[in-house]
Amino acid sequence: MAEVRVENIRKSFGAGRPVLEGVSFSVADGEFVSLLGPSGCGKTTLLRIIAGLEYAYSGRLSIGGREVSDVPPKDRDIAFVFQNYALYPHLTVEENVAMGLKLRGVPAPEIARRTADAAARLGLEPLLKRRPAALSGGQRQRVALARSLVREPRVFLLDEPLSNLDAVLRERTRGELKLLFKRAKGTVVYVTHDQVEAMTMSDRVVLLHEGKIQQVGTPEDLYRRPASVFAATFLGAPPMNIVPRADAERSGLFPDLPEGDLLVGVRPEELKVGEGREAAIVVVEPVGSYTILTLDAGGAAPRAARPRTRSGGATCRVAAPSGAMHLFDAADGGRLPNP
Amino acid sequence: MRSTLRGRALFALAVAAVAAWSLAPFLWQAITSLKPAAEVAAVPVRYWPSVLDFSSYAQVFKARPFATYIWNSFVVGVGTTALTTALGVCAAYAFSRLGLPGGRAALIGILGLSLFPGTVLIVPLKMLATKAGLLNTRTGLVIAYTALNLPFAIWVLKAFFDRLPRDVEEAAWLDGLSRWQTLWRIVLPLSAPAVATTAILVFIFSWNEFLIAQTLVSRDAARTVPVGIAMLSGVTVYEVPWGQIAAAVVVTTLPVVAMVLAFQRRIVEGLTAGAVKG
* SS3 track for chain B: CCCCHHHHHHHHHHHHHHHHHHHHHHHHHHHHHCCCHHHHCCCCCCCCCCCCCCHHHHHHHHHCCHHHHHHHHHHHHHHHHHHHHHHHHHHHHHHHHCCCCCHHHHHHHHHHHHCCCHHHHHHHHHHHHHHHCCCCCHHHHHHHHHHHHHHHHHHHHHHHHHHCCHHHHHHHHHHCCCHHHHHHHHHHHHCHHHHHHHHHHHHHHHHHCCHHHHHHCCCHHHCCHHHHHHCCCCCCCCCCCHHHHHHHHHHHHHHHHHHHHHHHHHHHHHHHCCCCCC
Give me the residue from B165, B189, B274 closest to A86, CB to CB.
Answer: B165
Q: β-strand A155-159 against A78-81: which pairing, if any?
A: parallel
Total domains, chain B: 2
pLDDT band at B253 (very low <50, low <70, confident <90, very high): confident
Position B274 pLDDT exceeds 50: no
- As a whole number of angstroms, the distance between CA B124 and CA B212 comes to 11
Q: Do B167 and B258 fall into the same domain?
A: no
Spacing of C-alpha A338 from chain mean position:
27
Q: In whole numbers, what is the pLDDT of chain B averaged over residues?
A: 87
pLDDT band at B273 (very low <50, low <70, confident <90, very high): very low
Report helix, strand or coil for A32: strand
Tell me the chain B residues in contact with residue A133 when contact means C-beta distances shorter than 8 Å: 274-275
Position B132 pLDDT exceeds 90: yes
Sheet of A241-244: strands edge to edge? A241-244, A262-266, A325-329, A335-336
Q: Do B173 and A72 touch (CB under 8 A)?
A: yes
Tell me the chain A residues in contact with residue B165 when contact means C-beta distances shorter than 8 Å: 84, 86
Position B275 pLDDT exceeds 50: no
- As a whole number of angstroms, the distance between CA B260 and CA A157 comes to 46
Q: Do B275 and A134 touch (CB under 8 A)?
A: yes
Judge whether B208 lies within some domain: yes
Average pLDDT of the residues in B86-103: 93
Q: Do B178 and B263 fall into the same domain?
A: no
pLDDT value of position B278: 29
Position A327 pLDDT exceeds 70: yes
Interface mutation target, options B175, B179, B187, chain A, most CBs of A under 10 Å: B175
Interface mutation target, options A82, A135, A148, A156, chain B, most CBs of B under 10 Å: A82
Tell me the chain A residues in contact with residue B278 when contact means C-beta distances shorter than 8 Å: 92, 129-131, 134
Domain map of chain A by residue range?
Answer: 4-234, 241-336
Average pLDDT of the residues in A311-328: 84
Q: Do B46 and B166 fall into the same domain?
A: no
Contact A226/A335 with Cβ under 8 angstroms? yes
Average pLDDT of the residues in A328-337: 91
Just give the CATH number of A4-234. Answer: 3.40.50.300
Q: In whole numbers, what is the pLDDT of chain A averaged over residues?
A: 90
Tell me the chain A residues in contact with residue B176 when contact means C-beta distances shorter than 8 Å: 74, 100, 103-104
Report helix, strand or coil for A254: coil
Q: What is the pLDDT of residues A34-51, one digit of tens each?
A: 999 999 899 999 999 999
pLDDT band at B265 (very low <50, low <70, confident <90, very high): low
pLDDT value of position A310: 58
Give me the residue from B167, B174, B190 closest to A89, CB to CB.
Answer: B190
Q: Do B94 and B171 fall into the same domain?
A: yes
Average pLDDT of the residues in A241-249: 89
Fold of A241-336: OB fold (Dihydrolipoamide Acetyltransferase, E2P) (2.40.50)
Up-side HSE of residue A264: CA atoms within 13 Å toward CB? 29
pLDDT value of position A311: 58
Neighbours of B278 (CB within 10 A): 16
Spacing of C-alpha A98 from chain mean position:
30
Q: Do A89 and B171 touch (CB under 8 A)?
A: no
Range with the poorest average pLDDT among A212-216, A289-293, B153-157: A289-293
Nearest to A220 by CA among A197, A203, A240: A203
pLDDT value of position B269: 56
Q: Do B174 and A131 touch (CB under 8 A)?
A: no
- Counting residues of chain B whose pLDDT is more than 70, the rounded percentage is 93
Judge whether B18 lies within some domain: no
State which residue of chain A sits closest to B168, comparing Cα positions: A86
Give the end-to-end CA distance of chain B in Å, rounded to a whole number: 30
Neighbours of B4 (CB within 10 A): 9
Give the residue, A297 or B177, on which the prediction is more confident: B177
Neighbours of A179 (CB within 10 A): 10
Q: β-strand A262-266 against A272-286: which pairing, if any?
A: unpaired
- For B57, the domain range is 26-64+232-271
Q: Do B84 and B213 fall into the same domain?
A: yes
Contact A21/A211 with Cβ under 8 angstroms? yes
pLDDT value of position B276: 36
Tell me the chain A residues in contact with residue B177 when contact means C-beta distances shorter than 8 Å: 74, 103
pLDDT band at B2 (very low <50, low <70, confident <90, very high): low
- As a whole number of angstroms, the distance between CA B151 and CA B148 comes to 7
Tell me the chain A residues in contact with residue B189 when contact means C-beta distances shorter than 8 Å: 90
